[in-house]
Amino acid sequence: MFRRSHLFIIILVLCVILPTSHHAFAKSRLGSFGLELSIGGNYDLLVNDTQKSERLGLNTELLLSYKFLILSGDLGVLYDFRKAQAMLRPGMRLFLGWLYFRLAIPIALPLTSAKDDMFNLGILVGAGVQIKIKKFIIVFEGNVSPFFININDRGLLMPAEARFGIGYYF
């Protein structure tokens, strides 16, 4: 059955999506490449951590993206300074005006042969705000990314991040 609440939701979605897609058509270019550089602070939520690991961290991410209307395909490369660990984060974002939702697959890559530095795989879910100033953008983002492979060694590892960055769309 069709209800008034469904109509309200449809109108709300159209009001958010149409200005974004109209702007893309008005520029006569449907897609564009972007490059973002952000810094982030993370706090590791560890369940059943027997080692009492350090939890606060600082990282930086370089994110290359291709935006088509309201979707973008992303490839992020992150470096965590505390853990001295690199991470690839391929994924996508859904843009609803200035608000976006992000979904990615973080792949932790070992840089050393230390026991704590292992390959790991997870899922990243986040939301952010992108403020556009001509071709430049300012980005604020929050996300969580539980990792799944090395659960038995340290418990469940789930970093929560807050990010701030700048970017440019070509």
Which two three-digit tokens encode residue 161? 């991040």
> Is the residue at 1 inside a domain?
no
| Number of domains observed in the structure of the chain | 1
Range(s) of the domain holding residue 102: 30-169
In a domain, 135, yes or no: yes
pLDDT in tens, the chain (170 residues): 556 555 556 655 555 554 444 444 444 467 899 999 999 988 877 766 556 566 778 999 999 999 999 999 999 999 988 878 888 999 999 999 999 999 999 988 777 666 555 677 888 999 999 999 988 999 999 999 887 666 555 566 778 899 999 999 88
pLDDT in tens, 74-122: 999 999 888 788 889 999 999 999 999 999 999 887 776 665 556 778 8
Q: What is the C-alpha separation between 134 and 54, in angstroms, rounded?
A: 41
Q: Can you give the three-state secondary structure of the chain, one letter per residue? A: CCCHHHHHHHHHHHHHHHHHHHHHHHCCCCEEEEEEEEEEEEEEEEECCCCCCCCEEEEEEEEEEEEECCEEEEEEEEEECCCCEEEEEEEEEEEECCEEEEEECCEEECCCCCCCCCCEEECEEEEEEEEEECCEEEEEEEEECCECCCHHHHCEEEEEEEEEEEEEEC
At 97, list the tokens: 């005006």
Burial zone of 43 (CB within 10 Å; 0-12 exposed, 13-18 middle, 19+ buried) = middle
Give a yes or no: residue 108 inside a domain.
Answer: yes
Is 13 contained in some domain?
Answer: no
In a domain? residue 7: no
Asked whether residue 141 is domain-assigned, the answer is yes
Whether 12 is in a domain gets the answer no
Record the pTM.
0.74
What CATH number does residue 107 fall under?
Answer: 2.40.160.20
The verdict on residue 16 lying in a domain is no
